[in-house]
Structure 1
């Protein structure tokens, strides 16, 4: 019997089980224009990066989420940057339901995090999510 994948979402938002993440909020990257999608990953590592790189105040948080509609590969990371989908990253135009918060995850070392932040900042508007 196949087990459904566990999906994760990284953010700085303080959410509770039952809350929903919906499209329409400013992106965490690039020019921060409102996004038509909500992003998620089947890899905890990818969600940790999302939590650490998210703009805003407060600690990064990682949630286990349940999609309420169809998913598609995230074109920002799939084929455009990494052939196939090794990051197991997806997007959806439908809400994600928060099931639980992941506690005890380990973030990246400060120097690695700063290198990634500098890299994302160097992209400027190129860091805007693909919204096609």
Structure 2
């Protein structure tokens, strides 16, 4: 059976600050940080993937599996976690994935300069194959991780 979680969306309309209110959640954020409901995730901190980079945006997805990938790929200690979040302001398509691998935004990944409010944590999500994660980590370490930066 083919995994079509991130299948191209041929009816895609770009998401921007001007039309993001039409995008329905729930939304998810993946990390290894231990968070609680009510916590705010904000931009301006080190990247989960490259500690030399300070992030200008906070990233999230409308697909739990995408946020799970972010959690599993994040550096640091702790277990991968996926939180349900609510954007506290405008957001847009994540240009790191939109149109880079597939047409449109099949991962339903977004970014915002505004905080995300944590409203809960999900206990399980569809995990990626460990071999895929190993390969992706190698690509990121080699500086070829264009989908994660």
* TM superposition score category, shorter chain reference: 0.7 to 0.9
Q: 1:91 aligns with which of 89, 106, 111?
A: 111
1:79 to 99, 113, 120: 99
Moved runs in structure 1, 4+ residues, more than 3 A? 124-129
TM-score, length-scaled by structure 2? 0.77
Higher alpha-carbon deviation: 8-17 or 97-106: 97-106
RMSD of aligned residue pairs (Cα, Å): 2.2
Q: CA deviation at 1:106?
A: 4.2
In the alignment, the residues of structure 1 paired with residue 23 and residue 49 of structure 2 have an alpha-carbon distance, to the nearest angstrom, of 33
TM-score scaled by structure 1?
A: 0.87
* 1:36-92 C-alpha deviation (Å, 9 max, x unpaired): 100000011100100000011010000000000001000000023332100000000
Instruction: State the 1:109 CA deviation.
Output: 2.9
After alignment, is 86-95 or 110-119 more displaced? 110-119
CA distance in 1, matches of 2:100, 2:128: 24
Where do 5+ consecutive residues of structure 2 fail to align?
Answer: 1-21
The structure in which a higher percent of residues are helix is 1
